[in-house]
Amino acid sequence: MRILQLTGDWKWTGPAAPMLELLLALRRRGHEVWLAAPPPPPDATSGLLLRARAAGVEPALELSRGRGIRWLRDAQDVRSLRAFVAEHRVEVVHAWHTRDHVLALRAGAGLRRAPVLVRSQKSGDPIPATPWNRWLFGPGSDALLCVAPEVARKNARLRGGRPLRGAFGAVDPERFRPGPPAERLRAELGLTPQQRVVGIVARAQRHRRFDLLLEAMARLAAQHPDARLLVIGRGTHIEETARAPARRLGIAERVVFAGYRGDDYVDALRLCDVFSLLVPGSDGGCRALLEAAACGIPAVTTRRGALPEIVVDGETGLLVDEEPAALAGAWSALLADPPRRARMGAAARERALRCFTPERLAEAAEDSYRQTLARP
Provide the pLDDT for residue 188. Answer: 94
Say yes or no: do domains 2-170+357-373 and 183-355 share a fold: yes
Q: Contacts from 187-194 at CB under 8 Å and sequence distance 24+? A: 189/230, 189/256, 189/258, 189/271, 190/256, 191/228, 191/230, 191/256, 191/271, 194/226
Q: How far is Cα 142 from Cα 368, in angstroms, rounded to an integer?
A: 10
The CATH number of domain 2-170+357-373, selected from 3.40.50.2000, 1.10.3720.10, 3.30.460.10, 3.30.2130.30: 3.40.50.2000
Domain ranges, ordered by start, for the chain: 2-170+357-373, 183-355
The pTM score is 0.91
Would the pLDDT of 45 be above 90?
Answer: no
Q: State the pLDDT confidence band at 163, using cuts at 50, 70 and 90.
A: very high
Assign residue 233 a region (left: φ > 0; alpha: ψ between -120 and 50; beta: otherwise).
Answer: left
Specify the CATH number of the domain 183-355. Answer: 3.40.50.2000
Type of residue found at 214: L
Predicted confidence (pLDDT) per residue in 141-154, tens digit = 999 999 999 999 99
- For residues 100, 115, 17, 237, the Cα torsion angle rounded to the nearest 10 degrees is 20
Provide the pLDDT for residue 13. Answer: 80
Q: Of all helices (H) and strands (E), which one includes residue 293? A: helix 287-294
Provide the pLDDT for residue 138. Answer: 95
